Amino acid sequence: MELEVKLRDKTGKEASKKLRRNGWIPGVVYGAGEKNLHVMASADQIQNIMKEMHGATKVLKMKLGGKHKDVFLKHIDRDPVTGKVIHVDLQVVHKGEEIHVEVPVEIQGTAKGTKLGGVLEVIHWRIPVRGDITKIPPSIEIDVSDLDINDSIHVRDLKLDVVKPLLNEDEAIVVVLPPKKMEEEKPVEAEIEAEEAAGEEEEEGEGEK
């Protein structure tokens, strides 16, 4: 995918607002030289690229003044009300360089625990990783079919041979929570068991006297 950008000579809130009103998205390019480049790109082109990428991390061909550079979308700012893209950060990709990016999680299958009333909770929808941009997967697929109630999948369970996850290996990615009814019954059962145990201790104490 190609992203054509142009240099912008004005920066700041007012200049950015004016650009957006005229159908442009302001942005910054990192790693293109000693100084960061302040650029602008067509809002329609940015929107089309976002749809094409589906949240994945992919290399783009950035065209600036007849020259091309490999870049990726390092960060995207959206309007908190409309959700529209209002600013982009682009990072130039250098050959052989490892980068730090977040890869989206793609859930596959239906956890068997959910058929018993459990609730599948995804704790991390995006996982930070480090690796060569050309080897970073567009998404991390996680099959939850075998998960029962209270089962979980951790970072250590992921099969990531070409990139290194930047989360603790014991960090849970997804978990099947028990039904609310089951959670409510547990404290009641625990109280009954505690009362019975206390009663048995009292009886034993009286017998010793």
CATH code, domain with 160: 2.170.120.20
Q: Specify the pTM.
A: 0.60
Residue 138 has pLDDT above 70, yes or no: yes
Q: Beta strand 98-108 with 140-143: parallel, antiparallel or unpaired?
A: parallel
For the segment 153-181, the average pLDDT, to the nearest whole number, is: 91
Give the integer Cα–Cα distance in Å for 153 and 141. Answer: 12
Asked if residues 124 and 142 have their Cβ atoms less than 8 Å apart, the reply is no
Lowest mean per-residue pLDDT among 112-116, 158-162, 171-175 = 158-162
Same domain, 38 and 120: no
Between 34 and 70, the more confident residue is: 70
Question: Which pLDDT belongs to residue 209?
Answer: 46
Q: What is the CATH number of the domain that holds 32?
A: 2.40.240.10
Domain count, the chain: 2
Q: Is 51 helix (H, G, I), strand (E, B) or coil?
A: helix
Same domain, 111 and 48: no
Lowest mean per-residue pLDDT among 62-76, 104-118, 159-173 = 62-76
Between 159 and 184, the more confident residue is: 159
Same domain, 48 and 31: yes
Residue 184 lies in a domain: no
- What are 10-63's pLDDT values in tens digits? 889 899 999 999 999 999 998 867 688 999 999 999 988 888 876 666 778 899
Same domain, 86 and 125: no
Q: Which residues contact 195 (CB under 8 A, 6 or more apart)?
A: none
Q: Is 185 helix (H, G, I), strand (E, B) or coil?
A: helix
Residue 199 lies in a domain: no
Same domain, 172 and 112: yes
For the segment 165-186, the average pLDDT, to the nearest whole number, is: 83
Residue 123 has pLDDT above 50, yes or no: yes
Domain that holds residue 19: 2-94
Residue 198 lies in a domain: no
Residue 183 lies in a domain: no
Task: For residue 89, give Cα distances in angstroms to 73, 140, 169.
Answer: 6, 23, 29
pLDDT band at 196 (very low <50, low <70, confident <90, very high): low
Question: Which pLDDT belongs to residue 49?
Answer: 87
Residue 122 has pLDDT above 90, yes or no: yes
Q: Is 190 left (phi over 0), alpha (psi -120 to 50) or beta?
A: alpha
For the segment 120-136, the average pLDDT, to the nearest whole number, is: 89
Residue 189 has pLDDT above 60, yes or no: no
β-partners of residue 170 are none
